[in-house]
Structure 1
């Protein structure tokens, strides 16, 4: 994240709700979640109920966050494209 010029905290735990966030970027007021295969129904690109619930709860308590599905990241391309993807 240093390449984006953003300070971040990895594996941040919000003690008020008990959720872990993969990457918190306080200066931007947002977080990134990387949803691996276990966040989806078996052989599907549909998120599991528990993952959907976590996302809803995070939104309800005021988090702006972006969830990156595991199958999207490898398709993004070289490092420069990955940085552009994250900037979006």
Structure 2
């Protein structure tokens, strides 16, 4: 096998694995009933929490800080989210 054939085989394996993951994630997202975002936007909805986590970085350097947003700042909004999920919501 030449190095080009190895590269092609590895590329096909990686693309096939990603495609298989996307199909499995789609089926799991459509059939689950806990999260409306993942049910309505399968596969893409899984990245919501990742982008929400990255939002801390972007707000720190590029956008408004956590307590500068109107009408509700990020701290108040996260408190409401925790209270809605019946988690620890003490300030």
TM-score of the superposed pair, with normalisation by structure 2: 0.23
TM-score of the superposed pair, with normalisation by structure 1: 0.24
Larger radius of gyration: 2
Higher strand share: 1
Higher helix share: 2
* Larger relative contact order (CA 8 Å, sep ≥ 6): 1
